[in-house]
Structure 1
Amino acid sequence: MNEAIVIPVSFFAFIFAMVYVFLTTRNKERMAMIEKGTDPTIFKGAGKYSNFLTLKTGLLFIGVAIGVLFGNILANASSLEEGTAYVSMIFLFGGLGLVAGYWMQAQKTNK
């Protein structure tokens, strides 16, 4: 079989298998806890931090986009190699975005 077909198919099969195993295991765990008499309201707290995950992901992507822009500026304005400028700025601004997300989450939870 052609490698151009095998690699994407195996990648998507792997992703599907991981999601399937995660969901079925979580369902079995929850059903066992409910059968033992555990209060099912404990599962509602899992979505409490999903807003922070969305915030952190958004700030990471914003940081990466700013990093690409500054990497382009740095590559054109200095004698750095283009790859070095892009990678360093992407990691710098992506990390700053994650730190900003952590800072915002800490402020929100302390209130």
Structure 2
Amino acid sequence: MDATTVLVNLIIFSTLFGIVYMFLTSRNKERLALIEKGADATVFNSGKKFSFAEGIMNLALLAIGIGIGVLVGASLEQSGMASEVAFTSSIFIFGGVGLMTSIFVNRKLIKKED
């Protein structure tokens, strides 16, 4: 590894760490300020949280979409399309279709729970 690769990796990871650190510390400061003023800090917890199963289902449908995109890209490449265009477009299209499917499945599950 040369110095630029190490430097780029260091910059990427330190930036990600900085973003997460700032998010968590600012959230904590906001909650402490609310508690000091006597307000209830449950304002931040008003939204519905995703369960572990919903997250896994979203990732699974995304992976299925990407897999189908790779298969379609390979068949488009065999039919004469440039491989870069075939694979890239197919992966993004079918990955997006997988994510849209997960949205509709989650909506159906939420309606079923209510």
TM-score by length of 1: 0.79
For 2:24 and 2:102, the matched residues in 1 are separated by 28
For 1:53 and 1:42, the matched residues in 2 are separated by 24
Q: 1:86 to 1:21 in 2, by over 3 A?
A: same
Look up the match of 1:55.
57
RMSD: 2.4
Instruction: Give CA-to-partner distance per residue, 1:66-85, whole Å, 9 cap, x none.
Output: 21222123212x01010111
Q: In the TM superposition, what are the counterparts of 1:1-111 in structure 2 within 5 Å?
A: 2-45=3-46, 48-51=49-52, 52-76=54-78, 78-111=79-112
Q: 1:54 to 1:34 in 2, by over 3 A?
A: farther
Which amino acid in structure 2 is aligned with residue 92 of structure 1? I
For 1:25 and 1:46, the matched residues in 2 are separated by 19
Aligned-residue offset at 1:46 = 5.1
Q: 1:88 to 1:65 in 2, by over 3 A?
A: same
Aligned length: 110
Aligned-residue offset at 1:44 = 4.8
Name the SS for the 1:49 alignment partner: coil
TM-score by length of 2: 0.78
Which amino acid in structure 2 is aligned with residue 4 of structure 1? T
Instruction: Give CA-to-partner distance per residue, 1:20-40, whole Å, 9 cap, x none.
Output: 111111111222223333334
